Structure 1
């Protein structure tokens, strides 16, 4: 049930926000009560042109009560282009039957695939799995609001797609018939593999501009399993049956052609000791973790590091091309695997180029996740 203050905030902000740059949501079941109740942590990102905007999700099904709500705090900002914020909700549900959350407000930034209104859907599956003996956890992912590619360069965007339960993670475009977006028209310039890689091929300058990406990320068991509800009803999930689903929505921007597509010239190139894509880190609650990131671009000027992750990650700049991400996890993150993704930006004349997208996973007070881990190569 939504609190009156949240409803008011929703009504005020709905009339203002007309420059949406995407959203996403993940969930982690936490404490289970003796009465069968479950506490669920819901994390979501809101991407807008500027920071003040806030939105809410409406719940249907086994909603229970919202026992704690942290209204979004700034994650990162790209001046004059976008701001990403993170919100955290704790939902106490009376049993382990599913629930669904929907955001259906505000207007996307002007784009070339004709998307106007934003709709995003999260299906939260909490029934007990026969393979783990626990409620299901959603795939975990994140991404910056705007991913860029020059119009003349072959580009791959390898989305972070991992699952704490060891499930197979797949991506698809949203479906109009399931009301997962409105409309769900995919961008014609991109190809999506089921393993969550977007590929872009060189295209004419007439295709330069913004495109809305509206993906659905789902987890599939690696072998048949049974989901059991509190009332003892059961459902068999096969390897072709999705368990849960989360929205992954952002903007892809096609830039004017760059003089060279080689990394390290105009397009920034990562240098050691920058972690490889898919690297795993372990962290303890209330202890700081530092991730060192270095990059070079000999023909352009590196301007900034942009990242998406927990809102309390601190970004430190120590000279051109030298950055550190520092995070001190709090209690709410304990026993979770949380993602951090980042790019380096560099400017040349009036153009701003990006490096490849890299992502890492931080396990807070946990052991490494089971395989398959879910960082997928180019398909």
Structure 2
């Protein structure tokens, strides 16, 4: 692990991942080749995870929309391995209601969630949308989630309320089991608007943001 007490808040040279423009660009191209560093923002040695953040700039050949994805890496063995796939949309066209490009939802989620084995609990995913759009959540599908799609049997202990972005976990399958969770968050205008001259009726999806994390069901001691 890179992160430690000494490195939290500090930078490290290099990029974290290879994000590629796969649709809308003239040819598939990596968009973060100029990223020079990333920063450690949190870690947990006992739980074996760390969180880093990085910023990069790229000039797209127009207003879009463009499809950008990161497809590589490997999931931990506890969830069966498999490759990463994260996909998002870059759309630089202006909205008619704000006069500026759309702001995609922000989801300040944790990398690992714990629900005690034998219990049922809710995980409410906090969502923020600067344009005050309606935000909904759904299970990721296809190349949004690669080897950990819910419809392929992953995270079978979880059910999702799409309107409230709430996961209900019934941790009753296996003690100390681990599950990979892949969810896509989407924003929808409350009234009809246009984006770059294209009409978007109320409730139409504007943008999609990927969210993936680990769910663990430990056998923790009960409180008396």
| TM-score category of the 2 structures, normalised to the smaller one | 0.7 to 0.9
**1:246 alignment counterpart:** 209
Secondary structure class of the residue paired with 1:83: strand
**1:199 alignment counterpart:** 168
**1:90 alignment counterpart:** 57
2:182 and 2:213 in contact (8 A); partners too? yes
Change (3 A) 1:127 1:152: same
More strand by share: 1
Deviations 1:282-324, CA, capped at 9 Å, x for gaps: xxxxxxxxxxxxxxxxxxxxxxxxxxxxxxxxxxxxxxxxxxx
**The one of 128, 136, 145 aligned to 1:170:** 136
Per-residue deviation at 1:111?
3.8
- Counterpart mapping for 1:295-334 below 5 A: none
Per-residue deviation at 1:67?
9.2
Change (3 A) 1:240 1:129: same
Question: Structure 2 unaligned runs (5+)?
Answer: 2-13
* TM-score, reference length from structure 2: 0.80
CA distance in 1 between counterparts of 2:15 and 2:78 reads: 20
CA distance in 2 between counterparts of 1:84 and 1:132 reads: 33
Per-residue deviation at 1:115?
5.8
Work out whether 1:237 is the aligned partner of 2:200.
yes
1:152 and 1:258 in contact (8 A); partners too? no
Deviations 1:159-200, CA, capped at 9 Å, x for gaps: 111100111111111111xx2121313411011111211111
**2:17 alignment counterpart:** 55
**1:181 alignment counterpart:** 145
Secondary structure class of the residue paired with 1:116: coil
CA distance in 2 between counterparts of 1:93 and 1:165 reads: 23
**1:338 alignment counterpart:** none
Question: Structure 1 unaligned runs (5+)?
Answer: 1-16, 18-51, 229-233, 266-379
2:67 and 2:89 in contact (8 A); partners too? yes
**The one of 161, 170, 190 aligned to 1:222:** 190
Secondary structure class of the residue paired with 2:56: strand
Change (3 A) 1:64 1:129: farther
1:115 and 1:212 in contact (8 A); partners too? no
Misfit runs of 4+, over 3 Å: 62-68
Secondary structure class of the residue paired with 1:69: coil
CA distance in 1 between counterparts of 2:95 and 2:30 reads: 21
CA distance in 2 between counterparts of 1:121 and 1:94 reads: 19
Change (3 A) 1:73 1:110: same
Secondary structure class of the residue paired with 2:190: coil
Per-residue deviation at 1:56?
1.7
Greater C-alpha radius of gyration = 1
Secondary structure class of the residue paired with 1:129: coil
2:186 and 2:207 in contact (8 A); partners too? yes
Per-residue deviation at 1:240?
3.0
1:68 and 1:90 in contact (8 A); partners too? yes
